Structure 1
């Protein structure tokens, strides 16, 4: 069972318990630290006082030994007959003494008496003369060292095998005439030091010791350490002599069993020190025991409080559990259930009253919402049907002319809503003319979809009566202005493609300009436009013609592309569209143009919502020279006479295959022969790179010829008619002569222009034997 599924009462009791335990833990920790510091300070005071007191007791007893020994050194001479008696009296008077000896330096071959009196464990005194010892005393270290102690000094402790005890000597030199002649040596048993240490009222587990000046234990509660040196860590702490306690670790002191506090006190009159070792855990043991008891009692009290709080809160919050269960009924849509009785006007009572009111209002709201959902479902169904109808009005996305494969079309439309206001359409007007339209209705949603459907329907109906896009837009505008009370309008681009010549004639009603993509890259076609359709009944729409070449592609689009914005409200713009379409490699199919532009638009927009409908239509012209196609002939020939006449034969075959009458063919051949021979003989004089580009188009109405050459500039329209003399002969120096005059006379239309590519002549020969169709 997860934490969130536990009842509020249980969580409240648990949080109260945890909070109280946290407070108890913090306050207990603070109290424990404070109490621990207090206990430690108290122990420091007591243990320090104990050590100092014990040191004072030892100091007093040592003073008696020192005074007795010094007095004897002042009284006894080598000639004193009662030295032995004095020793016995002093030994009897001072029970701390275990033995006294007087020894003199040998001189003049004689050795003065060296009495030695000792006391055994039963208190009996024994005496002997040190001169009788097998070793010479005057050669022993204790004698030689004692001669230097004029005021007295304590020597190293030693274990007496004869007396089976640890002893220590206090030696005082006998000085006469400022010269040591002997010494008084007092043996002091260390048993009394152990007795003093044993009578100390030490804390449990504490150990006391007396350390000599040379770092050797003189006495220790652990008898096995007596006579052994202390550890360096303990000696270092004891030598500090600043009176401050020191904590020693058993890891650094081999003579310690556990971490202990050291309390030291110097023994005045000697180099001895008294030390007291108190284990740290023994200091805190009562405190820890008390703390555990208090903590257990506090925890038990907190558990009792939490239990009482749990019972109280469960009783108080019981109605909330019922309300929670009833809320699950509401989540399932059930509103007919009983609520707990309202016992008071507290928060739970008011919540119960509000819950009941909400239940009643929710039941009414659910009923209203059910009706609204049904209406929404009907509307969604109608929108889906509207979208299907709108989609059915649009032709397929891809189209290729099945008879000649001269062009290919690909379109894409993305509505911003279920139904949109953008439109595109295309259809054949006759076997030589193809109509295409792209538009954008002023509104969105269902009104725009209805206006779009009306526009497409009227446009298709009107297209059957004219091949002119400007007349088509004019008639369409007049029809849509009628009854347009809502002032809706549509920007529309209409174009007619001549499948024989590759000419695209277009008219625009306030629409975005067309993009032309060819081998030179993409560019906008700057064409005059008229107002949007549906606003001005008398509006006119000028036309513009574009000559397409093989590989050229026209892109028509709506402002949903150029005005698309990203998350930072930056617009896509026409400049980016031109830059993307101009990237290498150049697309080969119209679908590649639309996919490239839409893919880059998606990357630019990112996660931003689509604000407007998006439509793009790409139309590619694929027509090239084809032996089986006699309508159009395109030739590129060098500037040689033999190539000129070969080209004339190709033109004759093309015109004959297109059904051009013989008279028109003869006129065209005569004019072309005159012009191209003139270009070779006069226009390309002095050039080796002469070139002539010929394009011949045949249809039912006329024959159109386009001639380009890179020769010297020559305008036949500015050539004066040839002059004749009295014999009727022309001037031989005049270029062209009667030939240029015949050209202007035989061609129905003749235009000339000159640019970077050279001379450009356009000629038209009308076929008067056929009726000209109404356009």
Structure 2
């Protein structure tokens, strides 16, 4: 089907192209031949018009010569006028009448017997009369007055003779005697012979001849209806020119049809008459049109034969393409197991057949490879989806509200740039009602970053109970991530530890973006010292930053996917836009601040593809009230023995008032006494008193104690366990029995040291009393 279509189209194109060439050439030939024929017609018609004018002129010359000769003869011999006129009339049949009209009362009129006038009847006989006897005096007629001025002779206006019932034209010559005008010799000529001259011309079919006088009156015409009518002014203007160029008229009164005509005119010498020949333009080009149509017919037949021949040859040559087309359709349906016809000639079709066969084989191999790759990609996609599910499972929920006392609320958003990413966030509660919050960004993207991120979160959750502060947690994480890190990957991490009872927040940063804090004030960046990213330097240290959250405070932690997001102009979102967005949120505080910020970033990017992972964790501190936990004591004392024991008594009273069992009160007093006495005695090298801060909080089933001393660092948790032998020398070991006592009696003990000194957190669990 395709082969027949190509052959048909090729034949049609050949037909159309050849027809265009033939038609174009024919039109050019028609135009050239038409121009040549028109030129030839001009020459022939101009010659015909000139011949017609000459014939008329010859007939008129006999009249004018006879009239002039007769006028010269009868001028001095008026008595012979009658006989001379009669002789001339007999020998010149073109004359319809001849008269010698003298001026009345002149000498010539007195000498002669009158003004003789001889006319010719229809049967050719002559009739004589004296015009002086006419009822109407001839000397009053225009022809007589005009003839007196025609010294050399002139043709006058045609007129219709009532007596002879025909249209005549007269030629007048003034009669001179002794150089004086004595009368007029007037020769009447019928116009019938003009019609005979026009009829005798060899005019082309449809051609018409005319004769008009100087006034534009038609004297003779092949169209009898025009005789005696006035010609158009435009024609008279053209005929007045000395040259006799052909004129093309679209519509004219001299043409019996509405087709354009060519007009040829020739002046008749001796008169002011014009001979006109009108030739229809359609007759001029008729022969060319017939030749053109004949050529088109012959060319059409030749073209049809050529088209059939081209069609047959094309189908024969392109028949192998039909087979290739069918095989190509099989390839489109996925069938590649077929054979191609044997190549007999190494032309374009032969090379195409070889190329198609190679393509078939290559395509079969390619499809097999694509099938294998598709299976691999499907497996990889499935693994990526599983990896994403695993990664998502490692992360806590996007929203968390403290269920115990409703003191705080968390909102989180994580949008990886790929299926899996390297950003991370996490939060988890320790058993002493402290909350860890973590946001991090791994140096890479994709699967490696996701694995490194999973490792970091897993290690953080595992090491958090051992770490007494974010500083220690970052140090422990850094040591572990530096091990076997051949890929030199690293993670920036911002870690915070929140006391969910008091709102005390301790933060440490490993090369991460500074968090944002707002509440009563406008949003601002918390700029504090930071350590290097985790996984680069095993000896790295991480400074801590402490603050106490006030009711209504919000803390937002984020990754650089927020600040480095770009729009179509490659402008970065930046920290200023982030603070402005959070300021707008702070005005209403409606909904999730993390989602509000991410939505604003997406609107800024305006559909531009995300280049980096985006993670936001927002903490809102409500401080809803004591609820099931209350702060019993929060004081700062001088590091002296008296102040220590006064504080111990005060603590015991508070615990007694709260209904705490005496055994528990005894344990708390004993531990606090051991720790604070050590702070007073061994907390400083120089002999000056420091300060000790104590905060006692009672919660459901536990007593929380926070101790702060601005002395030198000493971590009881890092001291080696004491092997008690019962010997008194046990007291001389580092920490002595006091450290062992503290570890044994406190349910939980956490230690941290920073620029402000030592920080200890202890928890004592006591049983509930029965109702």
- Give the shorter-chain TM-score range: 0.7 to 0.9
Q: Which residue number in structure 2 is paired with residue 76 of structure 1?
A: 74
Number of aligned positions between the proteins:
655
CA distance in 1, matches of 2:764, 2:199: 145
Q: CA deviation at 1:361?
A: 3.3
Show the counterpart of 1:114. Answer: 115
Indicate if the aligned counterparts of 1:410 and 1:590 stay in contact, CA closer than 8 A.
Answer: no
Aligned mates of 1:563, 1:252 — CA distance in 2: 92
Residue in 2 that maps onto 1:237? 238
Contact 1:501–1:697 (8 Å) recurs in 2: no
Is the contact made by 1:231 and 1:254 (CA closer than 8 Å) also made in structure 2? Answer: no
Q: Is the 8 A contact 1:146 1:171 kept in 2?
A: yes
Query: How do 1:563-712 residues align onto structure 2 when only pairs under 5 Å count?
Result: 563-567=564-568, 569-583=570-584, 586-589=587-590, 591=592, 593-623=593-623, 699=697
Q: Secondary structure at the match of 1:100?
A: strand
- Superposition TM-score, scaled by structure 1 size: 0.77
2:27 corresponds to which residue?
29
Structure 2 vs 1, CA of residues 458 and 6 (structure 1 numbering), >3 Å: closer, same or farther? farther
- Matched residue of 1:314: which SS? helix
Q: Structure 2: how far apart are the matches of 1:351 and 1:143? A: 104
1:38 aligns with 2:39: no
1:327 and 2:325 correspond = no
| Deviations 1:286-341 (CA, angstroms, capped at 9, x unpaired) | 21121122112212222221221121111111111111111121222212223112
RMSD: 3.4
Q: TM-score, normalised by structure 2?
A: 0.78
Deviation at 1:252, TM superposition (A): 8.4
1:644-665, Cα deviation, whole Å (9 max, x unpaired): xxxxxxxxxxx9999699xxxx
Most deviating of 248-257 and 142-151: 248-257
Q: Tell me how far 1:448 sits from its aligned partner.
A: 1.4
Asked if 1:407 is matched to 2:403, the reply is no
Checking the alignment, whether the CA contact within 8 Å between 2:432 and 2:763 is kept in structure 1 is: no
Q: Distance in 2 between matches of 1:270 and 1:702?
A: 149
- Please show how residues 292-441 of structure 1 align to structure 2 within 5 Å: 292-430=293-431, 432-441=433-442
Shift of 1:560: 2.0
SS of the residue corresponding to residue 609 of structure 1 reads coil
Secondary structure of the residue aligned to 1:494 is strand
Give, in whole Å, the separation in 2 of the partners of 1:517 and 1:82.
Answer: 150
- SS of match in other structure, 2:215: coil
The whole-number CA distance in structure 1 between the counterparts of 2:499 and 2:253 is 110
Q: In the TM superposition, what are the counterparts of 1:140-159 in structure 2 within 5 Å? A: 140-159=141-160
TM-superposed deviation, 1:217: 0.5
For residues 121-149 of structure 1, what are the alpha-carbon distances to aligned partners after superposition, in whole Å with 9 as ceiling and x for unaligned?
33222222212222111111222222222
Deviations 1:61-101 (A, max 9, x none): 22222222122222224962221221122223333222111
Contact 1:625 1:632 in 2 (8 A): no
Q: Partners of 1:108 and 1:294 in 2: how far apart?
A: 79
Which segments of 5 or more consecutive residues in structure 2 lack a partner in the other structure? 634-653, 661-693, 699-703, 708-755, 766-771
CA contact (8 A) 2:169 2:189 kept: yes
The answer (yes or no) to whether the contact 1:231–1:255 under 8 Å persists in 2 is no
> Given the alignment of the two structures, is residue 61 of structure 1 paired with residue 59 of structure 2, yes or no?
yes
Q: Provide the rounded CA distance (Å) in 2 between the counterparts of 1:180 and 1:405.
A: 150
Q: Distance in 1 between matches of 2:455 and 2:383?
A: 18
- Cα deviation, residue 179, structure 1: 4.4
Bigger drift between 30-39 and 201-210 goes to 30-39
Distance 2:583 2:240 in 1: 95
In 1, Cα distance between equivalents of 2:432 and 2:3: 78
Q: C-alpha deviations, 1:464-503, integer Å up to 9, x for none? A: 3345211111111112222222222111111223334434
Q: Which runs of 5+ in 1 are unaligned?
A: 634-654, 662-695, 705-763
**1:104 equivalent in structure 2:** 102
C-alpha separation in 1, matches of 2:89 and 2:245 = 39
Whole-angstrom distance in 2 between the partners of 1:657 and 1:313: 115
Verify: 1:228 aligned to 2:226, yes or no.
Answer: no
Q: Report the counterpart of residue 644 of structure 2 in structure 1.
A: none
> Aligned equivalents of 2:573 and 2:524: distance in 1?
17
Contact 1:409–1:590 (Cα < 8 Å) also in 2: no
User: Residue 318 of structure 2: SS of its match in structure 1?
Assistant: helix
Q: Structure 1 100/257 Cα, relative in aligned 2: closer, same or farther at 3 Å? A: farther
CA shift at 1:531, angstroms? 0.9
Structure 1 residue 574: Cα displacement: 2.8
Aligned to 1:182, what secondary structure does the other structure show? strand
How big is the shift at 1:108? 7.0
> Post-superposition shift, 1:389?
1.1
Give the conservation status (yes or no) of the 8 Å contact 2:405–2:624.
no
**C-alpha offsets along residues 211-262 of structure 1, whole Å, 9 cap, x if unaligned?**
1110110111101111111123333333344322221121788876432111
Q: Distance in 1 between matches of 2:379 and 2:317?
A: 49
1:218/1:226 contact within 8 Å kept:
yes
Displacement after TM superposition at 1:532 (Å): 0.9
- Deviation string, structure 1 residues 603-627 (Cα, Å, up to 9, x no partner): 4434543322222223333447799
Within 1, Cα distance between the matches of 2:632 and 2:597?
Answer: 33
Matched residues in 2 for 1:446 and 1:50: separation? 106
Query: 510-519 or 220-229, which moves further after superposition?
Result: 510-519
Change (3 A) 1:116 1:386: same
> Is the CA contact 1:630–1:658 (under 8 Å) kept in the aligned structure 2?
no
> Quick one: structure 1 residues 590 and 434, their matched pair in 2 at CA, closer, same or farther if it must change by over 3 Å?
farther
Is the CA contact 1:241–1:266 (under 8 Å) kept in the aligned structure 2?
Answer: no
Counterparts of 2:235 and 2:417 in 1: how far apart (Å)? Answer: 91
Please give the alpha-carbon distance, in whole angstroms, between the structure 2 residues aligned to 1:656 and 1:393: 41
Q: What's the offset of the Cα at 1:554? A: 2.5
Please report how far the alpha carbon of residue 183 of structure 1 lies from its aligned counterpart in structure 2 after TM superposition.
0.5
- C-alpha spacing 1:372/1:270, structure 2 compared with 1 (3 Å): same
Q: Post-superposition shift, 1:185?
A: 0.8
Query: Aligned partners of 1:36 and 1:454: how far apart in 2?
Result: 98
The whole-number CA distance in structure 2 between the counterparts of 1:657 and 1:20 is: 120
**1:241·1:264 contact (CA, 8 Å) conserved in 2?**
no
